[in-house]
Structure 1
Amino acid sequence: MTSGSSAQVIQLHPGRSAEPHHDVDTEHDAPVVAFRKPAEEAAEGHDTLTRLLTFLRNRLTGDYTVDEFGFDRELTDTVVLPPLRLLYEKWFRVSTHGVENLPLDGGALLVGNHSGVLPIDSIMTAFAVHEEHPRHRHLRMLGADLVFKTPLLGTLARKSGQTLACNPDAERLLRAGELVGVWPEGFKGVGKPFSARYKLQRFGRGGFASAALRAQVPIIPVSVVGAEEIYPKIGDIKPLARLLGLPYFPVTPFFPLFGPLGAIPLPTKWHIEFGEPVRTDTFGPEASDDPMQVFNLNDQVREAIQQMLYRRLSQRRGVFKD
Protein backbone atom coordinates (compact mmCIF):
# COMPACT_ATOMS: atom_id res chain seq x y z
CA MET A 1 0.00 0.00 0.00
CA THR A 2 1.41 3.40 -0.90
CA SER A 3 1.69 6.12 1.70
CA GLY A 4 -1.04 8.11 0.04
CA SER A 5 -3.58 5.29 -0.08
CA SER A 6 -6.85 5.69 1.82
CA ALA A 7 -7.79 2.02 1.59
CA GLN A 8 -8.89 0.04 4.63
CA VAL A 9 -6.20 -1.95 6.44
CA ILE A 10 -7.04 -5.40 7.72
CA GLN A 11 -4.78 -6.66 10.50
CA LEU A 12 -5.01 -10.32 11.36
CA HIS A 13 -3.63 -11.24 14.76
CA PRO A 14 -2.59 -14.76 15.66
CA GLY A 15 -5.08 -16.45 17.95
CA ARG A 16 -7.84 -13.95 17.21
CA SER A 17 -10.78 -14.56 14.96
CA ALA A 18 -13.48 -12.85 13.13
CA GLU A 19 -15.02 -10.16 15.29
CA PRO A 20 -14.14 -6.71 13.88
CA HIS A 21 -12.58 -4.11 16.14
CA HIS A 22 -12.36 -0.59 14.72
CA ASP A 23 -9.36 1.67 15.31
CA VAL A 24 -7.51 4.43 13.45
CA ASP A 25 -4.42 4.07 11.26
CA THR A 26 -2.22 6.79 12.70
CA GLU A 27 -0.12 7.02 9.52
CA HIS A 28 -2.90 7.31 6.95
CA ASP A 29 -5.93 8.24 9.09
CA ALA A 30 -7.73 5.29 7.54
CA PRO A 31 -9.83 2.91 9.60
CA VAL A 32 -8.09 -0.23 10.76
CA VAL A 33 -10.16 -3.35 11.34
CA ALA A 34 -8.61 -5.98 13.58
CA PHE A 35 -10.50 -9.25 13.86
CA ARG A 36 -10.65 -10.69 17.34
CA LYS A 37 -12.75 -12.95 19.51
CA PRO A 38 -12.90 -11.79 23.17
CA ALA A 39 -12.12 -14.46 25.72
CA GLU A 40 -15.19 -13.42 27.68
CA GLU A 41 -17.44 -14.48 24.76
CA ALA A 42 -16.18 -18.05 24.99
CA ALA A 43 -16.48 -17.96 28.76
CA GLU A 44 -20.07 -16.73 28.55
CA GLY A 45 -20.97 -19.59 26.20
CA HIS A 46 -19.40 -22.08 28.60
CA ASP A 47 -21.29 -20.59 31.55
CA THR A 48 -24.58 -20.76 29.64
CA LEU A 49 -24.05 -24.44 28.81
CA THR A 50 -23.11 -25.18 32.41
CA ARG A 51 -26.25 -23.45 33.73
CA LEU A 52 -28.43 -25.32 31.25
CA LEU A 53 -26.96 -28.70 32.18
CA THR A 54 -27.32 -27.91 35.88
CA PHE A 55 -30.92 -26.87 35.30
CA LEU A 56 -31.76 -30.10 33.46
CA ARG A 57 -30.08 -32.20 36.16
CA ASN A 58 -32.01 -30.42 38.91
CA ARG A 59 -35.30 -30.88 37.05
CA LEU A 60 -34.68 -34.60 36.70
CA THR A 61 -33.69 -35.04 40.33
CA GLY A 62 -36.26 -32.62 41.76
CA ASP A 63 -33.48 -30.60 43.40
CA TYR A 64 -35.01 -27.15 43.06
CA THR A 65 -37.22 -24.88 45.14
CA VAL A 66 -40.18 -22.56 44.64
CA ASP A 67 -41.36 -19.98 47.14
CA GLU A 68 -44.82 -19.65 48.68
CA PHE A 69 -46.05 -17.69 45.64
CA GLY A 70 -44.85 -20.33 43.18
CA PHE A 71 -41.75 -18.40 42.05
CA ASP A 72 -39.16 -20.72 40.49
CA ARG A 73 -35.96 -18.66 40.43
CA GLU A 74 -33.87 -21.24 38.57
CA LEU A 75 -36.48 -21.71 35.84
CA THR A 76 -36.81 -17.94 35.44
CA ASP A 77 -33.06 -17.34 35.16
CA THR A 78 -32.40 -20.28 32.84
CA VAL A 79 -35.48 -20.47 30.60
CA VAL A 80 -37.62 -17.33 30.86
CA LEU A 81 -35.14 -14.45 30.89
CA PRO A 82 -32.56 -15.41 28.22
CA PRO A 83 -34.99 -15.25 25.23
CA LEU A 84 -36.10 -11.77 26.36
CA ARG A 85 -32.55 -10.47 25.84
CA LEU A 86 -33.09 -10.38 22.08
CA LEU A 87 -36.14 -8.13 22.48
CA TYR A 88 -34.42 -5.99 25.08
CA GLU A 89 -31.09 -5.47 23.32
CA LYS A 90 -31.77 -5.89 19.60
CA TRP A 91 -35.45 -5.16 18.90
CA PHE A 92 -36.35 -2.38 21.33
CA ARG A 93 -32.70 -1.36 22.07
CA VAL A 94 -33.68 -0.44 25.60
CA SER A 95 -31.72 2.31 27.37
CA THR A 96 -32.09 2.46 31.14
CA HIS A 97 -31.71 5.52 33.33
CA GLY A 98 -31.62 5.97 37.11
CA VAL A 99 -30.72 2.39 38.06
CA GLU A 100 -28.92 3.87 41.08
CA ASN A 101 -32.38 4.73 42.47
CA LEU A 102 -33.15 1.03 42.94
CA PRO A 103 -32.22 -0.15 46.45
CA LEU A 104 -29.34 -2.63 46.70
CA ASP A 105 -31.42 -4.67 49.13
CA GLY A 106 -34.71 -4.45 50.98
CA GLY A 107 -38.21 -3.90 49.70
CA ALA A 108 -39.44 -1.21 47.32
CA LEU A 109 -42.54 -0.71 45.21
CA LEU A 110 -41.95 0.18 41.55
CA VAL A 111 -44.90 2.01 39.97
CA GLY A 112 -44.93 2.50 36.21
CA ASN A 113 -46.99 3.77 33.31
CA HIS A 114 -48.72 1.12 31.22
CA SER A 115 -49.24 1.02 27.44
CA GLY A 116 -48.74 -0.85 24.21
CA VAL A 117 -51.90 -3.01 23.76
CA LEU A 118 -49.95 -6.02 25.09
CA PRO A 119 -48.17 -5.57 28.46
CA ILE A 120 -44.67 -5.98 27.03
CA ASP A 121 -43.59 -2.85 28.92
CA SER A 122 -43.92 -4.63 32.27
CA ILE A 123 -41.88 -7.58 31.01
CA MET A 124 -39.12 -5.31 29.70
CA THR A 125 -39.11 -3.38 32.98
CA ALA A 126 -38.66 -6.62 34.94
CA PHE A 127 -35.84 -7.65 32.61
CA ALA A 128 -34.20 -4.21 32.97
CA VAL A 129 -34.23 -4.53 36.77
CA HIS A 130 -32.60 -7.96 36.65
CA GLU A 131 -30.16 -7.03 33.89
CA GLU A 132 -29.02 -3.62 35.11
CA HIS A 133 -29.20 -3.96 38.89
CA PRO A 134 -25.72 -4.66 40.35
CA ARG A 135 -27.15 -7.60 42.29
CA HIS A 136 -29.47 -8.78 39.48
CA ARG A 137 -32.58 -8.61 41.62
CA HIS A 138 -35.92 -9.96 40.40
CA LEU A 139 -38.98 -7.75 40.06
CA ARG A 140 -42.05 -9.46 41.48
CA MET A 141 -44.85 -8.17 39.26
CA LEU A 142 -48.48 -7.79 40.32
CA GLY A 143 -50.76 -8.94 37.50
CA ALA A 144 -54.45 -8.77 36.64
CA ASP A 145 -56.66 -11.79 37.33
CA LEU A 146 -57.05 -12.31 33.56
CA VAL A 147 -53.38 -13.33 33.43
CA PHE A 148 -53.82 -16.07 36.01
CA LYS A 149 -57.08 -17.32 34.49
CA THR A 150 -55.41 -17.90 31.12
CA PRO A 151 -54.20 -21.51 30.65
CA LEU A 152 -50.42 -21.93 30.52
CA LEU A 153 -49.88 -18.17 30.81
CA GLY A 154 -51.07 -18.20 34.42
CA THR A 155 -48.71 -21.04 35.33
CA LEU A 156 -45.77 -19.33 33.62
CA ALA A 157 -46.61 -16.06 35.37
CA ARG A 158 -46.56 -17.74 38.78
CA LYS A 159 -43.31 -19.56 38.09
CA SER A 160 -41.63 -16.37 36.87
CA GLY A 161 -42.48 -14.53 40.07
CA GLN A 162 -45.78 -12.78 39.35
CA THR A 163 -48.74 -12.78 41.68
CA LEU A 164 -52.26 -11.37 41.79
CA ALA A 165 -52.51 -7.59 42.13
CA CYS A 166 -53.97 -7.45 45.65
CA ASN A 167 -52.78 -5.66 48.76
CA PRO A 168 -52.18 -8.71 50.97
CA ASP A 169 -49.79 -10.34 48.44
CA ALA A 170 -48.08 -7.02 47.74
CA GLU A 171 -47.51 -6.34 51.44
CA ARG A 172 -46.14 -9.83 52.12
CA LEU A 173 -43.63 -9.48 49.29
CA LEU A 174 -42.61 -5.98 50.35
CA ARG A 175 -42.15 -6.98 53.99
CA ALA A 176 -40.02 -9.90 52.78
CA GLY A 177 -37.67 -7.37 51.17
CA GLU A 178 -38.67 -7.92 47.54
CA LEU A 179 -38.83 -5.44 44.68
CA VAL A 180 -42.49 -5.37 43.63
CA GLY A 181 -43.84 -3.89 40.37
CA VAL A 182 -47.32 -2.51 39.83
CA TRP A 183 -48.96 -0.72 36.90
CA PRO A 184 -51.97 1.11 38.39
CA GLU A 185 -53.46 2.19 35.05
CA GLY A 186 -54.28 -1.45 34.36
CA PHE A 187 -56.20 -2.19 31.17
CA LYS A 188 -57.16 1.49 30.89
CA GLY A 189 -53.52 2.25 30.25
CA VAL A 190 -52.36 -0.70 28.22
CA GLY A 191 -55.44 -0.53 25.97
CA LYS A 192 -55.76 3.23 25.52
CA PRO A 193 -55.98 4.63 21.97
CA PHE A 194 -52.92 5.96 20.17
CA SER A 195 -54.32 9.49 20.40
CA ALA A 196 -53.96 9.30 24.21
CA ARG A 197 -50.34 8.11 24.21
CA TYR A 198 -48.17 9.16 27.14
CA LYS A 199 -51.16 10.60 28.98
CA LEU A 200 -51.53 8.72 32.25
CA GLN A 201 -54.95 7.28 32.98
CA ARG A 202 -56.51 7.18 36.45
CA PHE A 203 -54.61 5.29 39.13
CA GLY A 204 -57.70 4.00 40.87
CA ARG A 205 -58.08 4.20 44.64
CA GLY A 206 -54.40 4.16 45.52
CA GLY A 207 -54.15 0.58 46.73
CA PHE A 208 -50.45 0.50 45.87
CA ALA A 209 -49.85 3.58 48.05
CA SER A 210 -51.51 2.02 51.09
CA ALA A 211 -49.50 -1.20 50.62
CA ALA A 212 -46.24 0.76 50.54
CA LEU A 213 -47.28 2.76 53.60
CA ARG A 214 -48.11 -0.36 55.60
CA ALA A 215 -44.83 -2.03 54.63
CA GLN A 216 -42.90 1.24 55.12
CA VAL A 217 -40.96 0.86 51.85
CA PRO A 218 -40.06 3.53 49.26
CA ILE A 219 -42.01 3.94 46.02
CA ILE A 220 -39.94 4.15 42.84
CA PRO A 221 -41.70 5.97 39.95
CA VAL A 222 -40.94 4.31 36.60
CA SER A 223 -41.47 5.79 33.15
CA VAL A 224 -41.33 3.84 29.90
CA VAL A 225 -41.03 5.73 26.62
CA GLY A 226 -41.27 3.77 23.37
CA ALA A 227 -43.91 1.19 24.28
CA GLU A 228 -46.82 3.43 23.27
CA GLU A 229 -45.91 3.08 19.58
CA ILE A 230 -45.32 -0.68 19.24
CA TYR A 231 -49.01 -1.29 18.43
CA PRO A 232 -50.69 2.02 17.49
CA LYS A 233 -54.26 1.32 18.55
CA ILE A 234 -56.72 3.09 16.25
CA GLY A 235 -59.86 1.08 16.99
CA ASP A 236 -61.55 -1.48 19.22
CA ILE A 237 -63.92 -4.27 18.14
CA LYS A 238 -65.99 -4.38 21.32
CA PRO A 239 -68.43 -7.20 20.35
CA LEU A 240 -65.50 -9.48 19.57
CA ALA A 241 -63.80 -8.49 22.82
CA ARG A 242 -66.93 -9.41 24.80
CA LEU A 243 -67.20 -12.71 22.94
CA LEU A 244 -63.61 -13.61 23.81
CA GLY A 245 -63.80 -12.30 27.36
CA LEU A 246 -61.15 -9.65 26.72
CA PRO A 247 -61.09 -6.04 27.93
CA TYR A 248 -60.67 -4.90 24.32
CA PHE A 249 -59.90 -6.26 20.85
CA PRO A 250 -57.45 -3.82 19.28
CA VAL A 251 -57.32 -2.60 15.72
CA THR A 252 -53.97 -1.24 14.56
CA PRO A 253 -52.72 -0.25 11.09
CA PHE A 254 -51.40 -3.82 10.74
CA PHE A 255 -53.70 -5.97 12.90
CA PRO A 256 -55.94 -7.81 12.18
CA LEU A 257 -55.44 -6.80 8.52
CA PHE A 258 -52.15 -8.71 8.16
CA GLY A 259 -53.04 -11.53 10.53
CA PRO A 260 -50.20 -12.93 12.68
CA LEU A 261 -47.66 -10.69 10.94
CA GLY A 262 -49.60 -7.70 12.18
CA ALA A 263 -49.01 -8.87 15.75
CA ILE A 264 -45.25 -8.28 15.48
CA PRO A 265 -44.47 -5.17 17.56
CA LEU A 266 -42.81 -2.26 15.81
CA PRO A 267 -39.08 -1.95 16.68
CA THR A 268 -39.32 1.35 18.51
CA LYS A 269 -36.48 2.72 20.62
CA TRP A 270 -37.23 2.40 24.34
CA HIS A 271 -36.14 4.36 27.39
CA ILE A 272 -36.88 2.99 30.87
CA GLU A 273 -36.24 5.44 33.70
CA PHE A 274 -36.27 4.73 37.43
CA GLY A 275 -37.05 7.95 39.28
CA GLU A 276 -36.05 9.19 42.69
CA PRO A 277 -37.63 7.18 45.53
CA VAL A 278 -40.67 8.60 47.27
CA ARG A 279 -40.29 7.87 50.97
CA THR A 280 -43.18 6.47 53.00
CA ASP A 281 -41.44 6.01 56.36
CA THR A 282 -41.90 9.71 57.12
CA PHE A 283 -45.67 9.11 57.38
CA GLY A 284 -45.78 5.98 59.51
CA PRO A 285 -47.87 2.84 58.80
CA GLU A 286 -50.99 4.37 60.37
CA ALA A 287 -51.17 6.77 57.40
CA SER A 288 -52.45 3.86 55.29
CA ASP A 289 -55.80 4.26 57.06
CA ASP A 290 -56.05 7.96 56.17
CA PRO A 291 -57.81 8.25 52.76
CA MET A 292 -56.48 11.78 52.21
CA GLN A 293 -52.90 10.75 52.92
CA VAL A 294 -53.22 7.79 50.55
CA PHE A 295 -54.77 9.99 47.86
CA ASN A 296 -51.99 12.58 48.17
CA LEU A 297 -49.26 9.94 47.91
CA ASN A 298 -51.04 8.34 44.98
CA ASP A 299 -51.24 11.71 43.23
CA GLN A 300 -47.61 12.56 44.01
CA VAL A 301 -46.36 9.36 42.38
CA ARG A 302 -48.64 9.78 39.36
CA GLU A 303 -47.43 13.33 38.81
CA ALA A 304 -43.79 12.24 39.14
CA ILE A 305 -44.26 9.61 36.41
CA GLN A 306 -46.07 12.05 34.11
CA GLN A 307 -43.27 14.62 34.44
CA MET A 308 -40.65 11.93 33.77
CA LEU A 309 -42.51 10.98 30.59
CA TYR A 310 -42.70 14.57 29.37
CA ARG A 311 -39.01 15.15 30.09
CA ARG A 312 -37.88 11.98 28.35
CA LEU A 313 -40.15 12.67 25.35
CA SER A 314 -38.62 16.13 24.95
CA GLN A 315 -35.15 14.57 24.84
CA ARG A 316 -35.66 11.67 22.45
CA ARG A 317 -34.53 12.04 18.84
CA GLY A 318 -37.34 10.01 17.30
CA VAL A 319 -39.61 7.03 17.73
CA PHE A 320 -37.13 4.62 16.09
CA LYS A 321 -33.80 6.43 16.56
CA ASP A 322 -31.09 5.36 18.97
Structure 2
Amino acid sequence: MDDLLDEWDAKVATGLAFLRRRLIGQYEVDDFGFDAELTEHVFHPVLRQLYKHWFRTEVFDTKHVPDEGAALIVANHSGTIALDALMLCLAVHDEHPAHRYLRLLAADLVFRLPLVSEVARKSGATLACNPDVDRLLHEGQLVGVFPEGFKGVGKHYSERYKLQRFGRAGFVSVALRNRTPIVPTAIVGAEETYPLLGNIKPLARLLGTPYFPVTPTFPWLGPAGLVPLPSKWMIRFGEPIDTTPWSDQADDPAVVFNLADQVRETIQGMLHDLLKLRPDPFQE
Protein backbone atom coordinates (compact mmCIF):
# COMPACT_ATOMS: atom_id res chain seq x y z
CA MET A 1 0.00 0.00 0.00
CA ASP A 2 2.81 2.40 0.88
CA ASP A 3 4.46 1.74 -2.48
CA LEU A 4 1.18 2.49 -4.26
CA LEU A 5 0.76 5.74 -2.35
CA ASP A 6 4.34 6.73 -3.11
CA GLU A 7 3.70 6.04 -6.80
CA TRP A 8 0.59 8.22 -6.80
CA ASP A 9 2.41 10.98 -4.92
CA ALA A 10 5.13 10.94 -7.57
CA LYS A 11 2.55 11.12 -10.37
CA VAL A 12 0.74 14.03 -8.73
CA ALA A 13 4.01 15.89 -8.16
CA THR A 14 5.02 15.32 -11.80
CA GLY A 15 1.62 16.52 -13.01
CA LEU A 16 1.71 19.65 -10.89
CA ALA A 17 5.23 20.47 -12.04
CA PHE A 18 4.09 20.06 -15.65
CA LEU A 19 1.13 22.40 -15.12
CA ARG A 20 3.34 24.99 -13.45
CA ARG A 21 5.76 25.01 -16.39
CA ARG A 22 2.88 25.39 -18.83
CA LEU A 23 1.36 28.29 -16.89
CA ILE A 24 4.60 30.27 -16.63
CA GLY A 25 5.70 29.42 -20.17
CA GLN A 26 8.77 27.50 -19.08
CA TYR A 27 8.85 25.00 -21.94
CA GLU A 28 10.44 24.75 -25.38
CA VAL A 29 8.89 24.62 -28.84
CA ASP A 30 11.12 24.10 -31.88
CA ASP A 31 11.03 26.05 -35.14
CA PHE A 32 8.35 23.73 -36.54
CA GLY A 33 6.06 24.11 -33.53
CA PHE A 34 6.91 20.74 -31.98
CA ASP A 35 6.27 20.67 -28.23
CA ALA A 36 8.06 17.60 -26.89
CA GLU A 37 6.86 18.04 -23.31
CA LEU A 38 3.19 18.37 -24.30
CA THR A 39 3.56 15.32 -26.55
CA GLU A 40 5.17 13.30 -23.77
CA HIS A 41 2.71 14.24 -21.01
CA VAL A 42 -0.60 14.68 -22.86
CA PHE A 43 -0.73 13.24 -26.38
CA HIS A 44 1.20 10.01 -25.83
CA PRO A 45 -0.65 8.89 -22.66
CA VAL A 46 -3.99 9.21 -24.47
CA LEU A 47 -2.79 7.38 -27.58
CA ARG A 48 -1.13 4.71 -25.45
CA GLN A 49 -4.53 3.47 -24.28
CA LEU A 50 -5.50 2.71 -27.88
CA TYR A 51 -2.07 1.37 -28.71
CA LYS A 52 -1.80 -1.09 -25.81
CA HIS A 53 -5.32 -2.04 -24.78
CA TRP A 54 -7.58 -1.47 -27.80
CA PHE A 55 -5.30 -2.40 -30.71
CA ARG A 56 -2.97 -4.67 -28.68
CA THR A 57 -0.10 -3.54 -30.88
CA GLU A 58 2.92 -5.74 -31.48
CA VAL A 59 6.10 -4.27 -32.93
CA PHE A 60 8.91 -6.15 -34.67
CA ASP A 61 12.50 -5.31 -35.59
CA THR A 62 12.95 -1.88 -34.03
CA LYS A 63 16.66 -2.67 -34.39
CA HIS A 64 16.34 -1.42 -37.97
CA VAL A 65 15.50 2.08 -36.75
CA PRO A 66 18.77 3.97 -36.17
CA ASP A 67 19.60 4.99 -32.60
CA GLU A 68 20.64 8.44 -33.80
CA GLY A 69 20.84 10.46 -36.98
CA ALA A 70 18.41 11.03 -39.80
CA ALA A 71 16.28 8.40 -41.52
CA LEU A 72 13.06 8.22 -43.51
CA ILE A 73 10.50 5.81 -42.07
CA VAL A 74 8.36 4.97 -45.13
CA ALA A 75 5.12 3.11 -44.39
CA ASN A 76 1.83 2.02 -45.94
CA HIS A 77 -1.16 4.24 -45.19
CA SER A 78 -4.74 3.10 -44.59
CA GLY A 79 -7.75 3.09 -42.33
CA THR A 80 -10.09 5.96 -43.39
CA ILE A 81 -8.87 8.04 -40.41
CA ALA A 82 -5.09 8.17 -40.20
CA LEU A 83 -4.65 6.47 -36.84
CA ASP A 84 -1.79 4.46 -38.35
CA ALA A 85 0.41 7.56 -38.40
CA LEU A 86 -0.22 8.17 -34.70
CA MET A 87 0.35 4.55 -33.73
CA LEU A 88 3.60 4.50 -35.73
CA CYS A 89 4.85 7.54 -33.81
CA LEU A 90 4.11 5.82 -30.53
CA ALA A 91 5.74 2.58 -31.67
CA VAL A 92 8.96 4.42 -32.50
CA HIS A 93 8.97 6.29 -29.21
CA ASP A 94 7.88 3.52 -26.84
CA GLU A 95 9.45 0.43 -28.37
CA HIS A 96 12.80 1.77 -29.57
CA PRO A 97 15.59 1.85 -26.95
CA ALA A 98 16.41 5.46 -27.80
CA HIS A 99 12.74 6.56 -27.44
CA ARG A 100 13.01 8.78 -30.49
CA TYR A 101 10.32 11.08 -31.81
CA LEU A 102 9.02 10.50 -35.32
CA ARG A 103 8.35 13.72 -37.23
CA LEU A 104 5.42 13.09 -39.56
CA LEU A 105 4.96 14.73 -42.94
CA ALA A 106 1.33 15.73 -43.44
CA ALA A 107 -0.74 17.02 -46.35
CA ASP A 108 -1.77 20.67 -46.47
CA LEU A 109 -5.38 19.66 -45.66
CA VAL A 110 -4.26 18.77 -42.13
CA PHE A 111 -3.00 22.30 -41.56
CA ARG A 112 -6.21 23.87 -42.87
CA LEU A 113 -8.38 22.18 -40.24
CA PRO A 114 -9.06 24.08 -36.99
CA LEU A 115 -7.64 22.43 -33.88
CA VAL A 116 -6.24 19.53 -35.93
CA SER A 117 -3.61 21.87 -37.33
CA GLU A 118 -2.51 23.03 -33.89
CA VAL A 119 -2.37 19.50 -32.46
CA ALA A 120 -0.44 18.27 -35.50
CA ARG A 121 2.19 21.00 -35.13
CA LYS A 122 2.50 20.52 -31.37
CA SER A 123 2.93 16.75 -31.78
CA GLY A 124 5.74 17.11 -34.31
CA ALA A 125 4.09 16.99 -37.74
CA THR A 126 5.03 19.40 -40.48
CA LEU A 127 3.99 20.17 -44.04
CA ALA A 128 5.21 17.68 -46.63
CA CYS A 129 7.39 20.13 -48.56
CA ASN A 130 11.05 19.84 -49.53
CA PRO A 131 12.45 22.75 -47.47
CA ASP A 132 10.92 21.45 -44.22
CA VAL A 133 11.98 17.86 -44.89
CA ASP A 134 15.53 18.91 -45.75
CA ARG A 135 15.78 20.88 -42.51
CA LEU A 136 14.50 18.01 -40.39
CA LEU A 137 16.90 15.54 -41.96
CA HIS A 138 19.79 18.00 -41.66
CA GLU A 139 18.99 18.16 -37.93
CA GLY A 140 19.24 14.35 -37.71
CA GLN A 141 15.53 13.70 -37.15
CA LEU A 142 13.47 10.61 -37.92
CA VAL A 143 10.89 11.58 -40.54
CA GLY A 144 7.72 9.59 -41.22
CA VAL A 145 6.46 9.39 -44.82
CA PHE A 146 3.29 7.81 -46.25
CA PRO A 147 3.72 7.88 -50.05
CA GLU A 148 0.22 6.54 -50.76
CA GLY A 149 -1.31 9.67 -49.23
CA PHE A 150 -5.09 9.95 -49.36
CA LYS A 151 -5.22 7.17 -51.98
CA GLY A 152 -4.16 4.77 -49.25
CA VAL A 153 -6.26 6.09 -46.38
CA GLY A 154 -9.37 6.37 -48.54
CA LYS A 155 -9.29 3.09 -50.42
CA HIS A 156 -12.21 0.66 -50.34
CA TYR A 157 -12.13 -2.21 -47.87
CA SER A 158 -12.01 -4.68 -50.76
CA GLU A 159 -8.57 -3.22 -51.61
CA ARG A 160 -7.19 -3.66 -48.10
CA TYR A 161 -3.46 -4.28 -47.78
CA LYS A 162 -2.92 -3.64 -51.48
CA LEU A 163 -0.49 -0.76 -51.75
CA GLN A 164 -1.61 2.13 -53.91
CA ARG A 165 0.63 4.03 -56.30
CA PHE A 166 3.45 6.00 -54.67
CA GLY A 167 2.78 9.15 -56.68
CA ARG A 168 5.84 11.07 -57.85
CA ALA A 169 8.12 9.29 -55.36
CA GLY A 170 9.35 12.58 -53.95
CA PHE A 171 10.47 10.85 -50.77
CA VAL A 172 13.17 9.03 -52.74
CA SER A 173 14.57 12.26 -54.16
CA VAL A 174 14.66 13.73 -50.66
CA ALA A 175 16.46 10.66 -49.30
CA LEU A 176 19.02 10.70 -52.11
CA ARG A 177 19.63 14.42 -51.83
CA ASN A 178 20.26 14.12 -48.09
CA ARG A 179 22.05 10.75 -48.24
CA THR A 180 19.46 9.43 -45.81
CA PRO A 181 18.59 5.75 -45.28
CA ILE A 182 15.04 4.60 -46.02
CA VAL A 183 13.42 2.22 -43.52
CA PRO A 184 10.48 0.36 -45.19
CA THR A 185 7.73 -0.17 -42.62
CA ALA A 186 4.58 -2.29 -42.69
CA ILE A 187 1.49 -1.59 -40.60
CA VAL A 188 -1.26 -4.20 -40.27
CA GLY A 189 -4.47 -3.47 -38.38
CA ALA A 190 -5.53 -0.02 -39.55
CA GLU A 191 -7.59 -1.41 -42.44
CA GLU A 192 -10.09 -2.97 -40.00
CA THR A 193 -10.54 0.00 -37.64
CA TYR A 194 -12.91 1.84 -40.00
CA PRO A 195 -13.65 -0.49 -42.95
CA LEU A 196 -14.41 1.86 -45.85
CA LEU A 197 -17.49 0.57 -47.70
CA GLY A 198 -18.35 3.67 -49.69
CA ASN A 199 -17.61 7.31 -50.44
CA ILE A 200 -20.29 10.02 -50.70
CA LYS A 201 -18.55 12.19 -53.28
CA PRO A 202 -21.00 15.15 -53.29
CA LEU A 203 -20.49 15.58 -49.55
CA ALA A 204 -16.74 15.27 -49.96
CA ARG A 205 -16.75 18.05 -52.58
CA LEU A 206 -18.96 20.21 -50.36
CA LEU A 207 -16.61 19.79 -47.39
CA GLY A 208 -13.45 20.05 -49.47
CA THR A 209 -12.17 16.64 -48.34
CA PRO A 210 -10.70 13.80 -50.44
CA TYR A 211 -13.63 11.53 -49.52
CA PHE A 212 -16.65 11.27 -47.21
CA PRO A 213 -16.45 7.77 -45.70
CA VAL A 214 -19.21 5.26 -45.26
CA THR A 215 -18.25 2.52 -42.80
CA PRO A 216 -20.29 -0.13 -40.92
CA THR A 217 -20.76 2.38 -38.07
CA PHE A 218 -20.40 5.84 -39.66
CA PRO A 219 -22.44 7.95 -40.31
CA TRP A 220 -25.24 5.63 -39.13
CA LEU A 221 -24.34 5.81 -35.43
CA GLY A 222 -23.44 9.49 -35.42
CA PRO A 223 -20.39 10.48 -33.32
CA ALA A 224 -20.34 7.00 -31.76
CA GLY A 225 -19.59 5.66 -35.23
CA LEU A 226 -16.13 7.23 -34.99
CA VAL A 227 -15.02 4.77 -32.32
CA PRO A 228 -12.51 2.48 -34.08
CA LEU A 229 -13.06 -1.26 -34.14
CA PRO A 230 -10.61 -3.14 -31.87
CA SER A 231 -8.52 -4.81 -34.55
CA LYS A 232 -5.20 -6.45 -33.77
CA TRP A 233 -2.24 -4.33 -34.94
CA MET A 234 1.25 -5.35 -35.99
CA ILE A 235 4.08 -3.05 -37.07
CA ARG A 236 7.35 -4.23 -38.60
CA PHE A 237 10.42 -2.17 -39.50
CA GLY A 238 12.40 -3.49 -42.44
CA GLU A 239 16.12 -3.36 -43.09
CA PRO A 240 17.29 0.16 -43.98
CA ILE A 241 18.03 0.87 -47.63
CA ASP A 242 21.30 2.72 -48.07
CA THR A 243 20.79 5.59 -50.51
CA THR A 244 24.38 6.84 -50.69
CA PRO A 245 25.29 4.86 -53.86
CA TRP A 246 22.74 6.96 -55.79
CA SER A 247 23.08 10.23 -53.88
CA ASP A 248 24.25 12.14 -56.98
CA GLN A 249 21.26 10.92 -59.03
CA ALA A 250 18.40 12.54 -57.09
CA ASP A 251 17.17 14.20 -60.29
CA ASP A 252 17.27 11.05 -62.42
CA PRO A 253 13.64 9.82 -62.81
CA ALA A 254 14.73 6.27 -63.66
CA VAL A 255 16.76 5.93 -60.47
CA VAL A 256 14.08 7.57 -58.34
CA PHE A 257 11.20 5.43 -59.62
CA ASN A 258 13.24 2.20 -59.49
CA LEU A 259 14.11 2.83 -55.86
CA ALA A 260 10.51 3.76 -55.09
CA ASP A 261 9.35 0.48 -56.63
CA GLN A 262 11.88 -1.39 -54.50
CA VAL A 263 10.53 0.24 -51.34
CA ARG A 264 6.93 -0.42 -52.39
CA GLU A 265 7.58 -4.09 -53.15
CA THR A 266 9.43 -4.52 -49.86
CA ILE A 267 6.55 -3.08 -47.85
CA GLN A 268 4.01 -5.17 -49.78
CA GLY A 269 5.97 -8.33 -49.00
CA MET A 270 6.21 -7.38 -45.32
CA LEU A 271 2.43 -6.84 -45.21
CA HIS A 272 1.81 -10.35 -46.58
CA ASP A 273 4.15 -11.81 -43.96
CA LEU A 274 2.45 -9.96 -41.10
CA LEU A 275 -1.00 -11.01 -42.29
CA LYS A 276 0.09 -14.63 -42.06
CA LEU A 277 0.98 -14.03 -38.41
CA ARG A 278 -2.40 -12.44 -37.75
CA PRO A 279 -5.10 -14.66 -39.28
CA ASP A 280 -7.99 -13.00 -37.42
CA PRO A 281 -7.97 -9.20 -36.98
CA PHE A 282 -10.16 -9.41 -33.87
CA GLN A 283 -8.43 -12.32 -32.18
CA GLU A 284 -6.21 -11.86 -29.15
TM-score range with shorter-chain normalisation? Answer: over 0.9
Higher-RCO chain (CA-CA 8 Å, sequence separation at least 6): 2
Alignment of 1:161-180 (within 5 A): 161-180=124-143
Give the percent of matched residue pairs that are identical in Structure 1 and Structure 2: 57
Distance 1:91 1:180 in 2: 26
- Of 105, 109, 126, 2:89 maps to 126
Give 3-state SS (helix, strand or coil) of 1:278's partner.
coil
Q: Does 1:248 align with 2:211?
A: yes
1:296 aligned onto 2:258: yes
Letter in 2 for 1:129: V
What is the aligned counterpart of 1:305 among 267, 278, 281?
267
CA distance in 1, matches of 2:277, 2:168: 32
Q: Number of aligned residue pairs: give it.
A: 284
Pairing of 1:29-68 with structure 2 (within 5 A): 45-68=8-31
Coordinate RMSD, CA, aligned: 1.5
Stretches of structure 2 lacking an aligned partner (at least 5 in a row): none
For 1:178-217, what aligned pairs fall within 5 Å after superposition? 178-217=141-180
Matched to 1:194, the amino acid is Y
1:152-163 matches, cutoff 5 A:
152-163=115-126
TM-score by length of 1: 0.85
For 1:75 and 1:318, locate their aligned partners in 2 and report how far apart those are by CA, in whole Å.
Answer: 36
Q: Which amino acid aligns with 2:183?
A: I
Question: Equivalents in 1 of 2:249, 2:10: separation in Å?
Answer: 48
Q: Which runs of 5+ in 1 are unaligned?
A: 1-14, 17-38
Shift of 1:292: 1.1
Per-residue deviation, 1:311: 1.0
Q: Hey, what's the Cα distance between the residues in 1 that align with 2:6 and 2:254?
A: 55
Letter in 2 for 1:174: L
Secondary structure of the residue that 2:250 maps to in structure 1?
helix
In 2, distance between residues paired with 1:223 and 1:67? 29
Following superposition, the deviation at residue 50 of structure 1 comes to: 3.4
SS in 2 for 1:283: helix
Partner of 1:280: 243
Residue type at the aligned position of 1:107: A
Change (3 A) 1:275 1:44: farther
